[in-house]
Amino acid sequence: MKLLLESLGVLIGCLTVPLEASPSPSLPSLPAFALSPSSRHFDAPARPLRTLQQPRARWSMKFEKASELRKMSTPELEQALVTAQKEAAMVRFKQTGRNKEWKPHQLKHVKRKIAQLYTILYERHMDTPRDDPGRLIGAAAEKEAAQ
Beta carbons within 10 angstroms of residue 91's beta carbon: 20
> Using 50, 70 and 90 to split pLDDT, how confident is the model at 55?
low
**Domain hosting residue 13, numbered range:** 2-42
Pair 6, 28: CB distance under 8 Å: yes
Q: How far is residue 89's CA from residue 97's CA, in Å, rounded to a whole number?
A: 12
When divided into structural domains, the chain yields a total of 2
What are the pLDDT digits (tens) for 3-48? 665 665 555 555 555 555 555 555 555 555 555 555 555 555 566 5
What are the pLDDT digits (tens) for 69-128? 888 899 999 999 999 999 999 988 888 877 777 777 888 999 999 999 999 999 888 876
Q: In 3D, which of 79, 77, 78, 105 has the Cα closest to residue 91? A: 105
- What letter would DSSP give residue 32? G
pTM for this predicted structure: 0.47
Outline where 1-147 has alpha helix (H).
Answer: 2-12, 40-43, 66-70, 74-96, 104-126, 139-146
Q: For the domain that residue 78 is a member of, what is the CATH number?
A: 1.10.287
Q: In 3D, which of 102, 65, 71, 67 has the Cα closest to residue 87? A: 102
Same domain? 83 vs 28: no
